Amino acid sequence: MNGVRHYLLALQFFTRVPVTGRLAEWIGFSPQMLRASAAHFPGVGWLVGGVGAAVFVLALQGLPGVAGALAAALLSMAATVLLTGAFHEDGLADVADGLGGSVDRSRALEIMKDSRIGAFGAIALVLALGLKAALLASMAGQGAQAVAGAIVGAHVLSRLAPLFLIRWLPYVGDSGASKAKPLADAIGGGALLVGGLWSVPAAGLVLLTQGPGRTMAVAVACALAALVMARMFRRRLQGFTGDGLGATQQVCELAIYLALAWQA
C-alpha cells in the first residue's frame, strides 16, 4: 500500500489532479514520503501522456488536413499543460533564463529563483512548444495509433531521465526555500528500479506502435538528451536544481518526438 500512497503523492505534487479530503489524509505527507514518490515520476507520465494522447486522437477525428493535425497537437499540449500546471515548462524557462542570463554560477542560480520570466526563458518556451507542436503534427501521417503511442511513451520515458540526475548529481538549489528539496536528496537503486518498471511497458508501447528501429532511436535520443543536460548542469552549476529536472524532462520529451518524426 505504501507504493500506492507514494504514487498518489507524486500525482498531488506534479499535477493538478485534486487529491484532497480523506484521500489526502490517508496518503499523509513527510519529506521521506516525498523522496520516495520520486520513483513514480514515470508513473505520472502514464496519466499525463494518456490524457494528451486521447485529446490528440479525438481532435484528429474531426479536424482534417495539415491544419487539423497542428490544431490537434496544440489541443493535446494544452491538455497536458493544464493537467500539470506547466510545472516542467516553468523549469525549462527558469533554466534558460539562468544559464542564458549569466556565465557566473551564483548569479545564474539567483536568476533561476526569480519567478519572473526573462527573454531567454520566453524564447526557450516559444521554441520548445512550437517544435513540439510541429513534431506531433508531422507524425499525424503515421496514424492516430502511432501518435498516441508516441505521446504516452514520450511522457513516461522523459520522466525517467531526471531520476538519473537525482542519483548522480548533487543538489545545488536553495535548500531552505525549495519545496522540492526532499526530492533532490540522492535516491537509491530501488527508486531507479521502480522508475524502470513504470517505463518498460511504455517502451513496449512504442515498440508495438512504432517498430524496433524507431524504438531504438527513441532510447538513444532520450539518453543523449539526458547526458547533454547532465553535463551542462555539472559544468555550469556543479549540480542540479528542481528547475533542472523539469527542463530535462522537456528536452528529453522533445528528443523522443524528434526521433519518432525523423524520416530516415
Distance between CA atoms of residues 129 and 97, nearest Å: 16
Which amino acid does the sequence have at 147? V
Residue identified by cell 531567454 is 120
Closest Cα to residue 163, out of 193, 139, 134? 193
Q: What is the pLDDT of residue 3?
A: 80
Q: What is the pTM of this model?
A: 0.93
Instruction: Tell me the CA distances in angstroms from 249 to 30, 32, 44, one per residue in order.
Output: 25, 23, 12
Tally of structural domains, the chain: 1
Q: What is the pLDDT of residue 28?
A: 78
Rounding to the nearest 10 degrees, give the CA dihedral for residues 86, 198, 240, 242: 30
Q: What is the pLDDT of residue 137?
A: 96
Q: What is the pLDDT of residue 178?
A: 56
Q: What is the pLDDT of residue 133?
A: 97
* Enclosing domain of residue 91: 2-261
Q: What is the pLDDT of residue 73?
A: 97
Yes or no: say if 19 and 8 are a contact pair by the CB < 8 Å rule.
Answer: yes
Residue 193: CB partners within 8 Å, gap ≥ 6?
Answer: 39
Q: What is the pLDDT of residue 264?
A: 46
User: What is the mean pLDDT of each successive set of 10 residues along the chain, which is 264 residues long?
Assistant: 84 88 78 84 96 96 92 97 95 96 93 91 97 96 92 97 92 66 69 94 95 95 97 96 95 97 76
